[in-house]
Amino acid sequence: MVFFIVSSLILGGCGSSSQDNNEGFAIYLAANGTSIDELAILSHIDIADEPIIGLDDIVSYNWETHDIKLTEPAAERVDILELIGKPFVVCVDRAPIYAGAFWSNVISRTYDGVVILHPLEEEYDSHTLRIQCGYPWESYFSGDDPRSDPAILTSLEKAGKL
């Protein structure tokens, strides 16, 4: 339910900039200290000035699993920052597509929106993030899956990240 409301609000038009930026796929932190509990009540979500993950930070994106393999510097940056529980916004050219929260397998709280899991299970290296619907399982997710948005696919294809 939270995810559906947030997606509707984001797609209705939010963001912190009206500039036309051709940066492609990027993940931004929500600005102004927004918490995940506030996502459902906000009329819009402002994004940070710079993405936390941009196309240059991505080695590859697996369209089937929505796993993102990061470059070494990006993986180190994500590891250093304490992102768990912080809201993010996936954008294409700074246009918001959907929002969610950074999450970890050590969190026992369920979540009905989109999460970016980090770190993943032991079989993955520390350079991989997963964008997942619902936590701990997809059955906790409510709404329509926004990860396969055509704008995201076009941006990742154009950048040669798939």
For the segment 15-54, what is each residue's pLDDT rounded down to a tens digit? 434 445 789 999 999 988 787 777 765 567 889 999 999 9
pLDDT at 42: 56
In three-state secondary structure terms, 158 is helix
pTM, rounded to two decimals = 0.82
Give the tokens for residue 109.
Answer: 């709280």
For the segment 108-161, what is each residue's pLDDT rounded down to a tens digit? 889 999 999 876 665 566 789 999 999 999 999 988 999 999 999 999 999 999
In three-state secondary structure terms, 55 is helix
pLDDT at 6: 43
